Structure 1
Amino acid sequence: MHDYQKRLALNLLAYAVQKNLSASQLCSLSGIHLNELSQESNFSLTTQQLNNLWLNATKLSQDPLFGLHFGESMQAAALGVVGELVRYSRTIGEALTHAAAFTQLITDLFAMTVTRTDQSFIIQFIPDTNRWGKSPFVFRQMMDFFMAFTIHEVDGLLLKKIQPTMVSLPVDGPDLLQYERVLRCHAIQNDANYVMEFDRRYWDEPILTADYELQSVWLRKVIELDESNSAKKSLSARITNFLMANAYIGVPSLDAIASNLNVSSRSLQRKLQEEGVTYQQLADSIRKSLALHYLQAGQYPVKEVSYILGYNELSAFNRAFRRWTGTTPVSYQKGQSAHHAEAT
C-alpha cells in the first residue's frame, strides 16, 4: 500500500546514507523505529517525526541546503505518486497538472498550482500559513526539495533538460550560486513567493516513456459510474471513482484518501462501515482489477506490477493475488500467455 510520506522518508534516509550518515542513528534521534519504517506495515509517520527527520538529517550532514540537494538527486521513480504520474503522462504539461493535484498526499505545508499564459507556464507553491509557521525550518527544506525535484524529476524522460526562465524565493548571499546551479536558472529573484516560470514550449514536450492507455481505460469506467450514480452517490462510490480515476499511479493509503476528502481517517472509516464496506475492500478491488489488467497485457514483469501497485515486497503481492484469484501472478500470467497463443 502506498504511504507517500513514508516513501519520502525512506528516500530521505537513502540519500542521507549516501552522505555517510547512519540511517539507524537518524531514526533513533527522530523517534522512529527503522524496522517499522522499512517493512510493509500500517506504520505511519507523525508530523513531528517527519519534522525531526528533516532537522536531524540537515544537522548531521552539516548541509544547510540539504532539501535542495536531496531534490536534485532524487529521480521520479523513487517517489511513487509523482513517479507514476510522470511515467503515465504524455507531456510535461500533463504530468505537472497531475502532480499539482496530488501534492497534498505528500505534504500539508503547501499547495502547488500550475497556470499557463501565451508565452509561459508558471508553477507556484502556496504555503499553508497555519501549518508552516510551527516548523519554518522544515518548511523551507521541503520547499527547496520540491522546487529542485520538480525540475530534476523528468531528467532522462525527455530529449532535453527543462530549465526555468525565472525563479523567485527568499534567497540571497552566498547560497545564491547553489540555487542557480540546482534550479538551472540565473534569473533568481529574492522574493517571499515560491514561483518558477518556464517557456511555454516545454508544456507539450513529450515524455519518452509515456503509457497513457491504462489511465484512459480507468477514466472511461469513471464516466460510466458517474452516469449510473448521478442521482445519488454513496461515499464508497465516490472513493471507488477516485481510486479508479487515479489507479494508474497506484492506490493511496486511507489517511491520504481522508485528507483528500477533508475528513479524519476515523470518521472516514466509520462512514464506510455504515455503508457495509471497508476502505481495504475498496482498495483491494481496485488493486485486483489493476493487477489483472497489467498481467493480461503481458508487457510487464510480475515484479514491476507489484511495484506499480505499491507493494514493497513481491511476496506480499503474491499473497494478495492468491487471495483474490486462488493462483499466483506468475501462473496467471503464463495462463494468459498460453490462452493468447491458442487463440492465434
Structure 2
Amino acid sequence: MTTAKQPTLGTVSVAAIRQYLRAADHLGIATAPLLQQAGLDPQNFQSDEGRIDGTRFQNFIRLLCNASDNPILGLETGDFVQPGSYSVLGYITMSCSTLGEAIQRIAPYEKLVGDMGLTQVLVSGDELNLIWQCGYPDHVVRPQLIDNVISSWIHYARWLADDRDTAPMAVHLERRSPGAEYTHTYAERWRCPVEFNAADNRIIAHKDLLDIPLRQPDPGLRRTLEAHAQTQMAGIEDQAALMTRVREAIRQQLVQGVSRQDIVAENLRMTRRTLQRKLSLEGTSYQALLDDVRQSIAEDYLANTTLPIPDIALRLGFSETTSFHRQFKARVGVTPGDYRQKGQP
C-alpha cells in the first residue's frame, strides 16, 4: 500500500519565529528544548532572510502552546511584533506614506514572511475588509496562529500610524471562543467587538483608515526595498499557496457537511482535472488534503465539544462511523473515543 506524501507547509522566515521567541522569553519559557524537539537549530536564526521548514515551525508553535498552557497565547504574542517580524515587508510598510499604501503591500509580499496563510484586501463602500486564510491544519496551532496574525496586524498598524486611532469596527475569527473568562480580553485589546465561530478571519474597518499618514514615509527607500523583495520572491517556491486555498475551500465545505472536489475546483476557477494535476506536481493529492483537514477538524471537535462521535463522522463526510474510527486511529494511533477520554496525545 502506498502512503500519501505529507503535504508541505512551505517555509517561514526566521524573522517570524523571533516574535514567538521574544514572547516566550517574556513568559519565562525556555525555548531551547522546544526548538530541539521541533527539529530547529538556533544557529540557523542568524540572518533575518533565513527560512525554516513550515512543518517544523508548526511543531514548535504546538510545543510552545503546550508549555505555556495559555488559551490566548496567540493573542498575547501579538504584543511582541516589530517591523523585523515581517522580514523586508516590515521595512517596506514602514516607508509607505499612508496606512492604505502599507496594507496594499501585504498580499503581494506576505510570502516573504512565510507560507502560513493568504491575505485578501477588499474595499466595498465605506468598509475595508482584511481577510486572512490560515494554511496550518494543526487544531492546537491554528487558533493561536490566527490570533497572532490578527493581533500583530492591529498592534503594528497602531505603531505605524504613530498611535493614532486605528481601531477596527469589528473582528471576526473562525476559531472557537477560548472561554467566557477570556473573550473580553480580545475586545479590550482590539477596542472593538469580536465575533467567534465566524465564517472566516477578518478585520473590518472604516475605509478612512486607509488615508491615515504614517510616521516615516520614504518613497525612494520603498522602491528600493520592493526591488529587493521581488528578487527574494523569485527565489521562493510557490507550493504552499495553492494548498492553502484548497485546504480552506475544503474546510468551508466540511462546515456545511459536504466534501466535493468538483466544487473546490470550481471555487478555484479551474477544472477538477487541472486541480488534480497541479496538486500532483506538488507531491500531494486532493484526498491527502481532505484527510488532513478532516483530521484537524475531528481533533478540534473531540477536544473542544461534546458532539457525539457519530455526529462528528457525519459532519466530516463519512458515510459510516466505522470508517471514521478506522481512519482516525490510523493517523494518531488511538480511536476517537480514547482520544476524547484521555485528552490529546
Which of 194, 201, 210 pairs up with 1:203? Answer: 210
Query: Residue 49 of structure 1: CA displacement?
Result: 1.1
Letter of the 2:166 counterpart: I
Deviations 1:256-305, CA, capped at 9 Å, x for gaps: 2655998xxxx9xxxxxxxxxxxxxxxxxxxxxxxxxxxxxxxxxxxxxx
Q: Which residue of 1 aligns with 2:166?
A: 162
Query: Residue 47 of structure 1: CA displacement?
Result: 2.3
Q: Is the 8 A contact 1:113 1:123 kept in 2?
A: yes
Deviations 1:72-93, CA, capped at 9 Å, x for gaps: 3312244323311221211111
Provide the alpha-carbon RMSD of the alignment: 3.0
Q: Which residue of 1 aligns with 2:65?
A: 58
Q: Mind listing any 5+ residue stretches in structure 1 that lack a counterpart? A: 219-243, 268-344
Paired residues in the alignment total 230
Relative distance call for 1:189 and 1:30 in structure 2 (3 A) is: closer
What's the TM-score, normalizing by structure 2? 0.59
Query: Residue 17 of structure 1: CA displacement?
Result: 1.2
Deviations 1:124-159, CA, capped at 9 Å, x for gaps: 11345xxx33x2322222211110111111333324
Letter of the 2:24 counterpart: A
Q: Which residue of 2 aligns with 1:114?
A: 121
Q: Which residue of 2 aligns with 1:8?
A: 16
- The whole-number CA distance in structure 2 between the counterparts of 1:62 and 1:161 is 33
Which of 29, 40, 46 pairs up with 1:32? Answer: 40
Alignment of 1:1-344 (within 5 A): 5-35=13-43, 37-40=44-47, 44-128=51-135, 132-133=136-137, 135-159=138-162, 160-169=164-173, 170-172=175-177, 173-174=179-180, 175-188=182-195, 190-216=197-223, 246-247=226-227, 252=232, 256=236
Describe the SS at the equivalent of 1:31.
coil
Deviations 1:83-109, CA, capped at 9 Å, x for gaps: 112212111111111012222333434
Describe the SS at the equivalent of 2:140.
helix
Q: Is the 8 A contact 2:15 2:49 kept in 1?
A: no
Q: Mind listing any 5+ residue stretches in structure 2 that lack a counterpart? A: 1-10, 243-280, 282-345
Describe the SS at the equivalent of 2:119.
strand
Q: Is the 8 A contact 1:75 1:154 kept in 2?
A: no
Describe the SS at the equivalent of 1:214.
helix
Relative distance call for 1:52 and 1:41 in structure 2 (3 A) is: same
Q: Is the 8 A contact 2:187 2:193 kept in 1?
A: yes
Letter of the 1:6 counterpart: V
Relative distance call for 1:189 and 1:215 in structure 2 (3 A) is: same
- The whole-number CA distance in structure 2 between the counterparts of 1:215 and 1:260 is 27
Relative distance call for 1:111 and 1:261 in structure 2 (3 A) is: closer
- The whole-number CA distance in structure 2 between the counterparts of 1:254 and 1:201 is 34
Larger Rg: 1 or 2? 1
Deviations 1:147-188, CA, capped at 9 Å, x for gaps: 011111133332413111011113433231122123321253
